[in-house]
Chain A
Amino acid sequence: MGTLGVTGRGLVLMVLAALLLAVAPFVADRYLLSVLTTVLWFAYVGQAWNVMMGFSGLLSLGHALYVGLGAYVSAALFVHFGIGPWAGLVPAVLAAVLAGCIIGFLGFRFGVKGVHFALLTIAFAEVARIGFDHITWVGGSAGFFLPVGAGENDLLNLRGSPTLFYYVVLGLVLGALALSRLLLHSRLGYQWLAVREEPDAAEASGVDLFRARMTAVAVSSALTALGGVFQAFYFNNLFPEQVFSMGRSIEIILPAIVGGIGTLVGPILGAFILTPLGEVLTFVIEAGGLDLPGLKQLFYGAALVVIVVFRPEGVWPWLARRLRLVRQPGEES
């Protein structure tokens, strides 16, 4: 699962998809490009979350914390000190990793497991949400705003057109995919999977549970923080109520759940299903003149239920089997 080889057919399809994404800004209009950017952003943070839950079996329901810390730290450095995002991402990532390590330390040292660990992650995100409401240095509850540039592309300061941001987030997604694949086939990756499957047996096989879990949290929080840096410079505004919200944490984990937890492609596929689904629903509801509050959420929720009930292991494993995109266990390479 997730560690199987890709077939020739799968490879062709993946290269095609990558090419399509690479040329998208030349054919897509502004709206479509913004939707694609959102899709890719969720694909990226979904992959980051997948390192913890999918690879290591650690349920985090507070990943908005790492997004928020990455966003606020990089934005504050930019606004107050003129430090650009490429330099600012280092302290931004460090802040998120530090928060992750504190949560991990508390959880793993004191044997907080499963749903109780998940509660711990929620608690930290909630504390950050309420805390940032009161930090006036970064705008408090009134929001924190980045100066909007003149519109010229400036990769160094991450200011510029939607196309620039699109390519940056596409780079993040491909980078996270490559990193995930590399990790999954490394010693650490196999140890993560073992810890996910049977912690006791993993430990008896020489795996240091504490260290394996802490590295998973560190990698996941670091990657997620980069998503936060992107978000700050893309939207140019940050509100604690949105950035750190429970709802955002849920949105982050949905792509991986729908696409396939623990798989490499799952979170990406999941994002390509969910975000467009939301957009289509908005469009259909508006076109049908049925603009009742909550109606979109109702349909969205129903669609989620259908997917999760019929494809509990995610859409990707099923699709990959049906279309023979990956080699099945036992097939020779």
Chain B
Amino acid sequence: MTALLQVENLSKRFRGLKAVSNVSFTVPEGRILALIGPNGAGKTTTFNLIAGVFAPDQGTVALKGRSLTGLKPNQVCAAGIGRTFQIVKPFGHLTVEENVLVGALAREASVETARREARAVLKRLELDDQAGRPARSLTLPDRKRLEVARALATRPTLLLLDEVLAGLRPTEVDRMVDVLRDLNRREGLTILMIEHVMRAVMALSDRVVVLDHGEKIADGAPAEVVADPRVIESYLGAEALG
């Protein structure tokens, strides 16, 4: 089992505030890894460091052994990492199909071919019946799915999902979990997800990394991690014991 993504000693400060401090973990190829932790733990900052939004103060990020450190977001995308945004960022005035088309154009120069790919991805995420609607008119659950669709259309080897289940109703969570599991099992897509919905984390992930105050406090199988007293104290709370 080789490591697809390797994050080593990653650190980032914002005006003296340690957002991420010396964080290391690996995502093995073909697996789903969940990044959990309380608000402000540095999860999204870690994502942004991987995706090239910020350059780390220290540490390295490598995909398949190739260093991504210091690359810009579009270069990280070209290297094979697709991402979603926690606060969804649809191209509001474009149609749903055009949103995904932009993603597909990352790898495909022909608009016609890219459009066909976009339609296939939309079908996959059950958004095909909304293809012609402006993205801004979608409901929140559909916008979340659109984020995933657009990222998928860039044909990533690693998908970064930033709270794509937050704000969804339980039935919608189940639908999305099914889609993600399917992508992982059938197409071998590796996924790194930030998630608060523990039910989904337990159902999907092979491994869980816990951050708190910018530091990694746990890293292991889901069952082990949720039993870890430090994790319970900092994040899950006493009720999780029940």
Interface residues of A (CB under 8 A from B): 1, 3, 185-187, 190-191, 193-194, 197-198, 200-209, 262, 329-331
Residue contacts A-B, CB under 8 angstroms, 7 given? A3-B98, A190-B105, A191-B105, A193-B91, A197-B90, A201-B91, A206-B107
- Contact in complex: A204, B98 (CB < 8 Å): no
With known contacts A190-B101, A191-B105, A200–B111 Cβ distance under 8 A: no
User: Is B73 part of the contact surface with A, judged by Cβ < 8 Å?
Assistant: yes
Partner of B95, one of A191, A203, A329: A329
- Counting from the closest, the 8 A-B pairs by CB-CB distance are A206-B106, A197-B91, A201-B89, A206-B77, A330-B132, A203-B73, A198-B89, A194-B102
Q: A-B contact count, CB below 8 Å?
A: 93
Q: How far is the CA of A187 from the CA of B77 in the complex (A)?
A: 17
With known contacts A193-B91, A197-B92, A207-B102, A187–B111 Cβ distance under 8 A: yes
Q: How far is the CA of A185 from the CA of B105 in the complex (A)?
A: 12
B contact residues, range = 35 or more
- Contact in complex: B77, A190 (CB < 8 Å): no
B residues 56-106 in Cβ contact with A at 8 Å: 72-74, 77-78, 82-83, 85, 89-95, 98, 101-103, 105-106
User: Is B134 part of the contact surface with A, judged by Cβ < 8 Å?
Assistant: yes
Q: How far is the CA of A187 from the CA of B110 in the complex (A)?
A: 7
User: Is B199 part of the contact surface with A, judged by Cβ < 8 Å?
Assistant: no
Residue of A nearest to B129 (CB): A330
Q: How far is the CA of A190 from the CA of B95 in the complex (A)?
A: 11
Q: How far is the CA of A185 from the CA of B132 in the complex (A)?
A: 15
Q: Which residues of B contact A330 (CB under 8 A)?
A: 132-133
User: Is B144 part of the contact surface with A, judged by Cβ < 8 Å?
Assistant: no
- Contact in complex: A205, B133 (CB < 8 Å): no
Give the shortest distance, in Å, between A128 (CB) and chain B (any CB).
Answer: 33
Q: How far is the CA of A191 from the CA of B105 in the complex (A)?
A: 8
Q: Which residues of B contact A205 (CB under 8 A)?
A: 74, 77, 102-103, 105-106, 150-151, 153-154
